[in-house]
Amino acid sequence: MCTLSELKVGERARVMGFGASAGGYRRKLLSLGILPGVELNVVRVAPMGDPVEVRLRGFSLTLRKDEASNLQVEKLA
């Protein structure tokens, strides 16, 4: 497992859970549809790594690097 912020453009992953420091972000991420088991695809990453654009459930979502680092994912082939 790794965090969303570690993925590169074009990689696919499945959400496995949230980091221990997710705290207030967890509720926000859940309300955005980022639930355990959801598959996502990294579309773009800004030059300095912040923000990260992902595509999931038919829509694009942009997350700040600290939000992405609290999201634990499993890389898919």
CATH code: domain of residue 20: 2.30.30.90
Helix (H/G/I), strand (E/B), else coil: 16: strand
| DSSP-derived 3-state class of residue 17 | strand
Q: What is the pLDDT of residue 69?
A: 85
Domain total in the chain = 1
75 pLDDT higher than 90: yes
pTM (two decimals): 0.80
**Structural domain for 54, as ranges:** 2-76
Given a cut of 70, is residue 5 above it in pLDDT? yes
**15 and 75 in contact (C-beta within 8 Å)?**
no
Taking only the tens place, the pLDDT of each residue in 10-55 is 999 999 988 776 667 778 878 888 888 999 999 999 888 789 999 9
Integer Cα distance of 14 and 8 in angstroms: 14
Element (H, E) at 29: helix 23-31
Query: H/E element holding 56?
Result: strand 52-56
